[in-house]
Amino acid sequence: MSVQPAMPKCWRMESKPHKFCPGCGHGLVLKALGQAIDELGIQDKVVFGCDIGCSLLSWDFFNVDTVQTHHGRTTPVITGIKRANPGVLGIAYMGDGGGYAIGAQHLVSAATRNERITVILVNNTQYGMTGGQMAPTTLPGQKTETTPYGRDIQATGYPTQGPEMVAAITPEGAYVARGTVANVKQLKGFIKKALENQMAGNGFSFVEALSTCPTNWRTNAEETWKFVEQEMTKYFKVGEIKVPGPREKEGQ
């Protein structure tokens, strides 16, 4: 009997242990995704695209067909694949910088077109891969390499409410949720529903995952979990934001 927690079946053993820093949330999000893929039995249908950012480290993470794209461009690559071959299940995996800054126009447009793809976005409140600069999601007052005195909301605005934006602009059929690596079971459930939404051909599906970056946050384990559970949730509400069904008419 193994004492190790079981790895999802679709994980690629040859590329484990994975390359994320200790305590990084990316591994947990990919665990939730791996479990969702296993439970849905879709390993042979999934095409996984990873962005440039720490997500790029997942280019050989799964035993699923995978393409590593450019910073911010995973959404159009997966869109292009899905449009050309609707038989696959397209997953675009990216960071908050990739999705909400450089690739924001792609996210907005894929959402408004209700592309039948699933976007999973890891919100770690800054640019992990490039060494911890401010991202659209950086919390007010949060210190990063480019906000060394803390994010000044007068000068740089408030944290981007990604799922709320996606929920507002998607037509009916879309699925939008925000999970957290502090609750992997719930996160897996959201990702599973997002994939099921794509499988049903309902519309766009989007899951943001609140995640950790102890390396750039410069936090120990306790501070890391405190930040993700207590600080981030002040600005980012965890839960399902939009589930398929007709949009409620105004005034009703």
Considering only 78, 88, 107, 129, the residue that binds ligand TPP (CB under 6 A) is 129
Q: Which residues fall within 8 angstroms of residue 11, CB to CB, at 6 or more apart?
A: 30, 34, 61, 62, 63
CA atoms of 134 and 120, how far apart (whole Å): 20
**132 scored as a contact of ligand TPP (CB under 6 A):** no
- Environment class of residue 13 by beta-carbon count within 10 Å: exposed (0-12), middle (13-18) or buried (19+)? exposed
The H-or-E segment that residue 126 falls in is strand 126-127
State residue 100 phi and psi, 5-degree precision. -100, -15
Residues 29-58 that bind ligand TPP (CB under 6 A): 52-55
Phi, psi of 199 (to 5 degrees): -60, -35
| 106 touches ligand TPP by CB under 6 A | no
| Smallest separation, CB 216 to ligand SF4 (Å) | 5
Instruction: Identify residues 216-235 at the interface with ligand SF4 (CB under 6 A).
Output: 216
Helix (H) / strand (E) element for 33: namely: helix 26-40
- Asked if 182 touches ligand TPP (CB under 6 A), the answer is no
Nearer to ligand SF4, 20 or 206 (CB): 20
Count of residues that interact with ligand TPP, criterion CB under 6 A: 16
Nearest to 190 by CA among 228, 240, 232: 240
Which positions touch another protein (CB under 8 A)? 10, 12, 43-45, 47, 52, 56, 59-60, 62-70, 73, 76-85, 87-88, 105-106, 108-109
Number of residues near ligand SF4 (by CB under 6 A): 12
Residue 54 interacts with ligand SF4 (CB under 6 A): yes or no = yes
Binding at 130: pick from Mg ion, ligand SF4, ligand TPP, none (beta carbon under 5-8 Å per type): ligand TPP
Pick the closer one to ligand TPP by CB: 135 or 181: 135
Contact call for residue 96 and ligand TPP (CB under 6 A): yes
Q: Where are the alpha helices (DSSP H) in 128-210?
A: 153-156, 162-169, 184-199
Looking at beta carbons only, is 123 or 161 nearer to ligand SF4?
A: 123
CA–CA dist 119, 158 (Å, integer): 23
Closest CA to 152 of 139, 133, 135: 139
Assess 112 for contact with ligand TPP (CB under 6 A): no
* Residues within the interface to ligand TPP (CB under 6 A): 52-55, 71, 95-98, 122, 124, 127-130, 135
